[in-house]
Amino acid sequence: MKTFKSKVLFLTGAAHGFGHVIALEAAKRGMKLVLVDIDEPALHQTQQEVERLGAENLAIPADVTKESSVNEAIDQAMAAFKRIDLLINDAGIALPGRIWELPTRDWEWILHVNTMSQVYTMKRIIPIMMKQKTHGAILNVASIAGLLDTPGMPSYHASKFASVGLSEATAYDLQRAGADIEMHVMCPGFVQTDLYHTEEHRPKQYSDPEDPYYHSEAFLKGQQFAKAVITNGMPIDTIAATVFKALEDNEFYILTHPEYNPLISDRVHRIVNHGAPDVHVMDGLM
């Protein structure tokens, strides 16, 4: 996608982190914005910021774990702007915890936010883009955790590996269908976002305050780990420029931390050489 002025962006996870800075950059580039997030107060703060930049916009509070909520947001976007040119699936959460400790409801929550929300939006918006017969683009925010594996966060890795695979397979399908739609997948390392505040955005359907897990040492340590790695991550101020440069250059894989490239190469080497995960090797590499 070479030009952005007057194009319509449908952006999930727009209230915080990557979504927030992407919204501001899109506004500066003259885009029309559909801002979607579950955190209504923060969403309206983002809306006020893009309005100060002169962007025409629509803010839609929505729970992307529900297909009906996603469909309603897309219907509102089409009613307001009649088209969608760029879809950025940024909504995401992080839930540390080993598989034998993490409650099933947390697996369902993270897979619905990090993976199924991308399915819901693409299922509806790809036919819209095809019908428009104009150039379109889709960017799924995954993670470096979708390209390499580490201990302690199997649910996060599962959701992000799924996002990467979903993006790759959809790119093939779009090419085979002759669709004028670019696919992109972003795989950042640790960045200073608010991702460690995931618990503040937990919907009621995935909540059970009486479950002893949420009062356990394992849960508390997981929360402390998430906060430590995110607050010590890369500053967020370069992310929006990275995203739009990748869109302009039609880069499929958008990586932000080249220092992780040896770890990605090591994983591929293990796969093709009949290796296996070895926590001692991983600890040494990290």
Give yes or no: 206 in active site.
no
Question: Cα–Cα distance between 96 and 102 in angstroms, integer?
Answer: 8
- The two three-digit tokens of residue 158, written as one number: 């599962």
152: left (phi over 0), alpha (psi -120 to 50) or beta: left
Residue with the two structure tokens 């697996």:
107
Residue with the two structure tokens 């972003």:
186
H helices of 144-276, in order, are 154-176, 217-231, 239-249, 261-272
Secondary element (H or E) of residue 21? helix 17-28
Q: Helix crossing, 117-132 with 154-176: angle to 10°? A: 20
Q: Given the residues 120, 156, 196, 260, select the one marked as catalytic.
A: 156
Question: Cα–Cα distance between 243 and 240 in angstroms, integer?
Answer: 5
Question: Cα–Cα distance between 5 and 30 in angstroms, integer?
Answer: 4
Question: Cα–Cα distance between 1 and 52 in angstroms, integer?
Answer: 25
Report residue 229: phi and psi, to 5°: -75, -30
Question: Cα–Cα distance between 250 and 227 in angstroms, integer?
Answer: 33
Q: What single-letter DSSP state applies at residue 114?
A: I
Q: How far is CA 78 from CA 84, 93, 163, in A?
A: 7, 27, 25
SS3 at position 55 = coil
Active-site amino acid positions: 156
